[in-house]
Chain A
Amino acid sequence: MFHARVTRGVMRSNSSKHLLLVFSLFLCLMLPRLAARGNEEQPIQQERVRIVSLSPNVTETLYALGAGSLLVGRSDYCNYPDEATALPSVGTLYNPSLEMLLSLEPTLVISSAFVPDQFLGAVQKAGIEVLALQTQQDFQGTYTLIREIANRVNKQAEAELMILSMQNDVRTTVQKAELLPKPTVYVVLDFGSFDSSATKDTFLSEMVGLAGGINIADDAQNWTYSKELLMAHDPEVLLLSPRWGETGEQTLKEFTTAKPYADLSGSIRLFDADLISRQGPRSAKALAELFELIHQEMAQ
């Protein structure tokens, strides 16, 4: 009796082993086909271009060119113009969700330099075209960016008109700036343990120069600056950008109560980092705003 039960048990265990073996073989044979089928189905043939923008300046440019309707998705940081915020977001620039992006069925993804290459590689592998734009080091580069985006959405004429208008605005600002005295300026991008500013090798530094300021951080590179040099220069104008997640007042309070910044004699002015740091259609307006901030007393 006991022997029979043991034999049955062994047989049952043998049959389940067989079943498992057959199932494993089936999986081995089918998986490559399933995977291949998944890949075949990925390229989505659409007549209309469907764009996911992974950069705020790209989103702004598309709307300014009149191609906003082509957008089907954006990043968390794309907050301008207001219509853009109604679009579904695929996450941050550093860690977007591939699944969310694919669910929006885009035909084109336009990204900035911050999006990981690995992610863009995965997007391309899924059969979606990627336009990876590089950060431009100078103001002229803004026009290059606009043209690159316009070429891809067939809005070349609109882009040229926009660039012409921007160039006019920039010329007006630069001419106004040339007539006024040039105050020394320091752009406070971060402060505390380590200080970050618009150093010589940045787009922002060029903007300060065009807006009629003398950027004291032009003697440094790589966005870092020394407290000692800041105190030695003691600039006339300090442009302070609100820290992420803080209001302008909160950042201003932190800055003006912390040593050694509290001992600086220059005038502190808050600036909209979103407007000034994004290379796009609002860059000419940003330059005009920077001019107003630097020459606030004159304007008043």
Chain B
Amino acid sequence: MKRMLVPVLAGAALVLMLLSLTLGPSNIKLSDTVAILLGKGASANKAYIILQLRLPRILSSFLTGAILGLSGAVFQAALRNPMADPFILGISSGASFGVAVALFIGFAPLFGLPVSALVGALGTTLCIVALASRRKSSSTTLLLTGVAVNYILSAAMTLLMFLHKEQYQRILFWTLGSFSSSTYGQVVVVLLAWIILFIPLSLHHQSMDMLLLDELSARAGGLSVRRTRLLFLLLASFATALCVSYYGVIGFIGLMAPHATRLMIGPKHQKLLLPSSLFGGLLLLASDTISRILLPSGELPVGIITSLLGVPLFLYLLRRGRYFYG
């Protein structure tokens, strides 16, 4: 079962992608979908819906889930905390604050919401790292600084929303997350981000295992704990911030995908990274597909479905298997 996990997850992802391509509010038959994918007949309108709306969306949601699943594993190892997720260092609150400020000041039409969100997310992450680095930073200092800054930014964003209620809905919808405006350009950027994150992590999986030990043992093993932790965190933060700037805040995946995978395959990062990434991708793709087909016209925020779908699955796995964190 453990050996087959990666092929099973990859196969399931492919099947789900094909299934998701055929599902949507405008009824397009399976035969038409296949014909469009093979470059044969079918109306231009149907081809546009399959190739320009559904396909980039499917790829975006899968890759974003893959990045969140991977980043979650990084954050939980680097901060030595099973409750850590990719948003703990202020990416979600920073990005949301960036969006709120852009709408409040009126910068949104000039730079667009993704740029404002990216600046907010990365700025906040760097601030937290800089604040925590002033003293001898332990993973706990970093974690607590992140939590504190998250609170300040959330309060500031709530204040902006309160003062500027006309933009409340726009900010709220942005924070709920959506893949409805995905483009192939975004798919390429997110794919590159995944590659840039995955390669160094898989090459240094032993360092990630060592980060889970206490600092003294890790140092005794020859690991530069501070530098490695910071590097991994910044890498994962950057990849997550990119996804957030395009698609909004999507919770749960980054927290739960690594845990669910650990339940199936154990805690060693050599075996954990790819399945965690695939599982995250699969879960987010399934959630996004449901979010766009559940209502006859219109769609639900993907974050709602992610939790509704993921939590029962996670609880089932938790009841079934023996869990090892580190």
A interface residues, Cβ below 8 angstroms from B: 92, 94-95, 190, 192-195, 199, 217, 219-222, 224-229, 231-232, 234, 243-246, 250-251, 253-254, 258-260, 263
Shortest CB distance B63–A (Å): 17
Q: Which residues of B contact A246 (CB under 8 A)?
A: 106, 108-109
Within 8 A of A (CB), among B261-307: 292, 295-299, 301
A75 to chain B, nearest CB (A): 12
**Can you name the residue of chain A whose Cβ is closest to the Cβ of B248?**
A193
Per-residue CB contact flags for chain B residues 164-201 toward chain A (1 = under 8 Å, else 0) read 01110110011011101101000000000000000000
Residue among B25, B109, B169, B297 making CB contact with A253, cutoff 8 Å: B109
A243–B173 Cα distance when bound, in Å, is: 15
> Mask for B96-138, Cβ within 8 A of A = 1, else 0?
0000000100101100110000000000000000000000000
What is the chain A residue whose CB lies nearest that of B178? A193
| Chain B residues within 8 Å of chain A by Cβ, number | 37
**A245 pairs with B53, CB closer than 8 A:** no
The 3 closest A-B pairs by CB, nearest first: A224-B298, A220-B297, A193-B178
> Is B298's CB under 8 angstroms from A263's CB?
no
CA A232 – CA B52 in complex, angstroms?
12
A194: chain B residues within 8 A (beta carbon): 173, 178, 180, 298-299, 301
Which of B106, B170, B292, B301 has the largest count of A CB atoms less than 10 A from its CB?
A: B170
A199 cross-chain contacts in B, Cβ below 8 A:
297
A219 to B53, CA, bound (A): 20
Q: Quick one: which of B162, B169, B178, B297 contacts A229, CB cutoff 8 A? A: B297
- Chain A residues near B156 (CB, 8 Å)? none
| Smallest CB gap from A92: residue in B | B165
CB distance from B197 to the nearest CB of A (A): 25
Knowing A95-B165, A220-B298, A226-B299, say if A260 contacts B109 (CB, 8 Å).
no
Cβ of A224 and Cβ of B299 under 8 Å apart?
A: yes
Complex CA distance for A260 and B56, rounded to whole angstroms = 11
**Distance from A59 Cβ to chain B, minimum over Cβ atoms (Å):** 18
A224 touches B174 (CB 8 A): no
Q: Does B16 contact A (CB under 8 A)?
A: no
Is B183 in contact with A259, judged by CB distance below 8 angstroms? yes
Contact A228 B183 (CB under 8 A): no
**Residue from the list B25, B48, B103, B113 in contact with A226, Cβ < 8 A:** B25
11 pairs across A/B with beta carbons < 8 Å? A192-B173, A193-B180, A194-B180, A194-B299, A226-B292, A227-B180, A227-B181, A232-B49, A234-B45, A253-B109, A260-B181
If A94-B165, A193-B180, A228-B53 touch, whether A245 touches B295 (CB-CB below 8 Å) is no
A263 and B106 CA atoms in complex are apart in Å by: 26
- CA separation between A274 and B103, bound complex, in Å? 20
Let me know if A231 and B298 touch, CB within 8 A.
Answer: no
Q: Does B24 touch A at the CB level, under 8 Å?
A: yes
Chain B residues contacting A220 (CB-CB under 8 Å) are 296-298
Given the known inter-chain contacts A224-B298, A231-B48, please indicate yes or no for A192 contacting B181, CB distance below 8 A.
yes
Residues of B within 8 A of A243 (CB): 170
Task: Encode B12-44 as 1/0 by CB contact (under 8 A) with A.
Answer: 000000000000111000000000000000000
Contacts of A192 in B (CB 8 A): 113, 170, 173-174, 181
Residue of B nearest to A220 (CB): B297
Q: How far, in whole Å, are A251 and B110 apart by their CA atoms in the complex? A: 11
Given A219-B297, A226-B25, A229-B25, is A258 in contact with B181 using a C-beta cutoff of 8 Å? yes
